[in-house]
Structure 1
Amino acid sequence: MSNLKVEPSPVALIGDIVESRTHRERQALHNAFEAAVARANAEVPIDDPAVITVGDEFQGVYPTLGAALRASFVVRTELFPRADVRFGLGRGAVTTLDPVRGIHDGPAYWAAREAITVAEDRAQRAQTRTSRTAYVAPDEAPATVAAVRAALDCLDFMVGSMSTTSREILGGLMHGHAQHDVADRVGISPSAVSQRVRRDGIGVALEAMMTLGDLP
C-alpha cells in the first residue's frame, strides 16, 4: 500500500466589489482595489498572482483553501470602509489558457464562479444578508464543504454586524499591529480597543480567521 500523501487540488478565488457601479469615486475605488490585491499577493502564498479583471473583479489561484481565505480577508479589510467585497472559492484543477496574460480556466474557476453566485443569492435573503463568502468543491466530502460554509457564514455575520470602528480594529489586528497602534489609528484609547475586542466579537473573528487560514 502506498504511503504517498496526495496533495489537495488548488483553490481559485474570485472577488467582486459589491455595488461598485454606484460608487461615487470610481477611480479612487479602483486604486484602493489595486493596492488591496497587491497586498494580498505580497502576504499570502499563491500559485498564480491575483489580478484585477473586468467588472471590478479579481481572481487568483492558491495552493490551499486557507491561503485563498487569507487573501480574501486581506482584500476585504483593506477596502473597508470604502467598499465591501463578495468572494467565491472553488477547488479543482486549473487550466492555463494564456500564460502571457495570465488567463486561466478549469473546474476550480467554474466552482469559484458558482460559489460567488451562491454568496450573492444568500445576501438577498433577510436571514443571510451578511453573507459575502461561499465555497464550492465538487470532489470534496459534502459534510466538509458544509462545515466550511457554516464557519464562513458565522464569520461573515460577525464582521458584517460590526461598526465601522470595530471593523477597522479587526483589520489592524489581523495585520499584526499592536493594540496601542490600532488605537492611535482609529482615534480611541487602548482600553477602548480591548473592550471592543471582547464585546464586539473581534477576538472571536480573529481566531476564526486564523483557524480558517490554516485549512489545507
Structure 2
Amino acid sequence: MFTLIGDLIGSREVPDRAAVQRTIGKILDRVNGAIDTVQLLEPTVGDEIQGGFHTIGDATLATLLIRLELAPHVDMRFGLGYGDVTVHDADRRPLLQDGPGWWTAREAIDKLKGKHGTFYVGPQGGDRTPDPALVNAFLLARDALVATLNDRQHRMLLLALRGKSQRAIAEAEGITESAVSQAFARGVRAAHDAQVTFGKAA
C-alpha cells in the first residue's frame, strides 16, 4: 500500500484551529470521494492526517488536491511511503496500525525537516514500487511549478483536476474563457498535465 502522512504547517499560529480542523475534515471527504483509496484519508493525532492508496499516482494526486483546497490560508507537508500495513484495531478511529508502510511515510515526512513540500521513501529492495529518485524528481518539479501560480490559478488548477472544462472554470471565476486560456498557458496547464501524466505512468 502507498501511504500518506500529512502535517499541517504553522498550525500553532492559526487563529481559529477548530475552524481549520473542520475545513480539513470536509476537504478529506471530498478527496476521498474523488480518489479510490485503500484506507480513507482521515485526521489523526495533533495536526496530522493519513490515508492509503493503490498507486503512487493516486497518492501524489491526493497531496496536490489537499494543498490546493487549503490554499491560500494554510498549507500542509506530506510524507509518502510504501509497504505492508498491519491494522491492530479496525474499529478505532483513527485506525490503530503500524508496519513498513507507515514507517516509510514517517521517514519521508521527517526528511523534509519542517520544510514545505512532498517527499517519498520506498521500501528497501523489491521491485513492486517506482524508483524513489524518479518520484521525488517529479514531486520537486510539480511543487515548484505550483508555487509559481497565484491564488486564482490555484483555483483553476483544482477545478481542472476535477475534470472541469475551461468554459466551466471561466463561469466559476466570473471571467472570460480567453482569460482562463491565458492562465493555462502561464502554468496551469503544465501543472495539470504533469500530474495527470505521472498518474497514468505510475
TM-score w.r.t. length of structure 1? 0.84
- 1:186-210 Cα offsets, whole Å, 9 max, x none, are 34322111101112x1111111111
- 1:19-43 Cα offsets, whole Å, 9 max, x none, are 1221122222111100111111111
* Equivalent residue for 1:118, pick from 111, 121, 144: 111
Structure 2 equivalent of residue 6 of structure 1: none
Q: CA deviation at 1:113?
A: 0.6
* Equivalent residue for 1:161, pick from 115, 137, 148: 148
Structure 1 equivalent of residue 194 of structure 2: 208
Q: CA deviation at 1:45?
A: 1.1
Distance 1:150 1:60, change over 3 A: same
Q: CA RMSD in A?
A: 1.9
Q: CA deviation at 1:79?
A: 1.5
* Equivalent residue for 1:193, pick from 176, 180, 184: 180
**Structure 2: gaps spanning 5 or more residues:** none
Q: How does 1:23-38 map to 2 (within 5 A)?
A: 23-38=14-29
Distance 1:57 1:195, change over 3 A: same
Q: CA deviation at 1:52?
A: 0.3
Alignment length (residue pairs): 198
* Equivalent residue for 1:173, pick from 116, 139, 160: 160
Preserved CA contact (<8 Å) 1:67 1:214: no
Preserved CA contact (<8 Å) 1:40 1:71: yes
**What secondary structure sits across from 1:214 in the alignment?**
helix
* Equivalent residue for 1:139, pick from 111, 124, 138: 124
- 1:137-194 Cα offsets, whole Å, 9 max, x none, are 0335799211110110000001112111111111111111222322233343221111
* Equivalent residue for 2:41, pick from 43, 50, 55: 50
Distance 1:74 1:143, change over 3 A: closer
TM-score w.r.t. length of structure 2? 0.90
Q: How does 1:41-120 map to 2 (within 5 A)?
A: 41-101=32-92, 102-120=95-113
Q: CA deviation at 1:215?
A: 4.9
Q: Percent of aligned positions with the same letter in both sequences?
A: 36
Q: Are 1:19 and 2:18 counterparts?
A: no
**Structure 1: gaps spanning 5 or more residues:** 1-9, 124-130
Within 1, Cα distance between the matches of 2:143 and 2:110? 16
Q: CA deviation at 1:46?
A: 1.1
Q: 66-75 vs 35-44, which deviates more?
A: 66-75
